[in-house]
Copies of this chain bind each other. A is one copy, B any other.
Amino acid sequence: MNIYDIAELAGVSIATVSRVVNDSPMVSEKTKRRVRKVMEENNYTPNVFARGLGLDSMKTVGLMCPNVADAYMARAVAYLEQNLKEYGYDCILYCSGYDDEERRVAVNSILQKRIDALVLIGSSYAEDDEDSEKVEYIREAAKQVPVFMMNGCIRGENIYCALCNDFQAAHMAVTELIQTGKEDILFLSDSHSYSANQKLKGYQQALRDAGMPVNEKLCVYAENRIDRVRDLLLSRNDLMFDAVFATEDGLAIGALKYAKKRNLSVPRDISIIGYNNSELSVCCDPELSTVDSRGERLCKIIIDSMMLRLKNREIRSKVYANGFLVRRETTDF
């Protein structure tokens, strides 16, 4: 059943049918009704390919992230998909992995689908060094479609970024720790992404602002796996700390497991703050204080800007949201 069939059955031309499909105002209500009736009776739906060919768009946006199995990204994808759908856009999903070459390939593949916009989810798409050659493929992509980065930041034409102000959030969280009397605060991270580095800077600045020393040794990196983190901390007898600021909830829980193994009381002997306010943070015991990094807010910003951008309106190329601390049992307050 195609447009010709409908046209014939309705006794009009295909142009008219097309107009009805696109709800053009230049068709009389009467014919519209008639054509619509035929379409419904025959359960007609326009062929998306033909439509795409003509319009060079299929109303699809590409969603790309290193790994949807990650809770943070999954939440973002869920939110974006949900809302994009309401604007009539479908999503094609692409998990790129964390490897640079894989990513380049992934972006090129997804571009071939003639998506209307691309959103890159997660801070791993941007190294700290904004001008790195490594992200040239993203600038290249932006020549074809508008690129939206969630928690990443690359300066460039047609690239739009929405980020949590990680510096501010980390500063706030660490300051909180300091105020409860903690003196040796461990910075625990699993990455050197732009975002992770912002958190590090916030951590360091908070210490300086409080007139405390910044001990390089207290900055440790570990794979984001609970058992690994626990074992690593257990093995580092050289480290003395009475608080942990982790850049991911998973890391924080690793620290919690470490504390338990060491028979340390939380938060008395050791306070812990995580990041992302994920489901994990309420599973553990005691429950984890954590920074809410405003995932939903960022998604919303991205969708709103995208819709404006697709109408060729001017939009801001960089928007921040402030994180806030969710206080639970792993900190005093």
Contacts and interface: CB of A to CB of B under 8 A. Distances in A.
A26 interface: no
Given A69-B78, A71-B74, A283-B284, A48 B93 contact: no
Main secondary structure, interface of A, reads: helix
Nearest to A77: B68
Nearest to A74: B74
Report the copy number of this chain in the oligomer: 2
A285 interface: yes
Contacts of A52: 48-49, 52
A19 to B, nearest CB: 19
Interface of A: 45, 47-50, 52-53, 56, 58, 60, 63, 67-71, 74-75, 77-79, 81-82, 85, 90-95, 109-110, 112-114, 226-227, 250, 253, 256-257, 260, 279-280, 282-285
Given A49-B58, A226-B283, A284-B285, 19 more contacts: A45-B112, A48-B114, A49-B50, A49-B53, A53-B53, A63-B93, A67-B78, A68-B68, A69-B78, A77-B93, A81-B94, A90-B110, A90-B113, A92-B93, A226-B282, A280-B283, A283-B283, A283-B284, A284-B284
